Amino acid sequence: MSGVARIGHGWDVHRLVAGRPLVLGGVDLPSDRGEDGFSDGDALLHALIDALLGACALGDIGGHFPPGSEEFRGICSRVLLAKVRDLIAAAGFRPLNVDCTVALERPRIFPHVPRIRRTIAEDLGIPVESISVKGKTGEGLGPVGEGLAVEAWAVALVEELPR
């Protein structure tokens, strides 16, 4: 690493409702309930986007992609992640590694983690070894534990490239 390291943090929560796909990290998971939301509701990618923007002090997801704006209705959050990747690159930053945690009662995300990591690595253009994704349950407690919500947290380390 030749530049200055900067860290960012992101968090997101989405309500789980019947009749919506459950999308996490750009991957469709088998589930009878999915995230409610203006976009595809991918809480994991939304937390990650905020972590990346936060590391670069470039605002937040709601500022860049306002919910209610027709151009973002139902949009795949991978498209938003790619836009953020380009945005931070244009500002002179490069992602080094990310670490994400998803709290979801069911289904367990563990079997899907390899595919989620590959998807994020591909979208960010960094090695899969630099992407960590971990699943937790709510232990039956609170909105996550009762299966009413999915929550996600992410931290991202970026390098500020010398100009």
Interacting residue ranges for Mg ion, rule: CB under 5 A: 12, 46
Q: Shortest CA distance to 133 belongs to which of 119, 149, 147, 150?
A: 119
Rounded (5°) CA angle 19-21-124: 160
Q: Which residue is nearest to Mg ion (CB)?
A: 46
48 versus 55: smaller Cβ distance to Mg ion? 48
Q: How far is the CB of 41 from Mg ion (least distance, A)?
A: 6
69 versus 111: smaller Cβ distance to Mg ion? 69
Beta-carbon contacts of residue 122 (< 8 Å; ≥ 6 apart): none
Task: Could you list the beta-strand ranges (E) of the chain.
Answer: 4-18, 22-24, 27-29, 33-35, 93-103, 131-136, 149-160
Q: How far is the CB of 37 from Mg ion (least distance, A)?
A: 6
What distance in Å separates the CA atoms of residue 148 and residue 65, rounded to the nearest whole number? Answer: 25
Q: How far is the CB of 50 from Mg ion (least distance, A)?
A: 9
24 versus 113: smaller Cβ distance to Mg ion? 24
66 versus 111: smaller Cβ distance to Mg ion? 66
Q: How far is the CB of 159 from Mg ion (least distance, A)?
A: 26
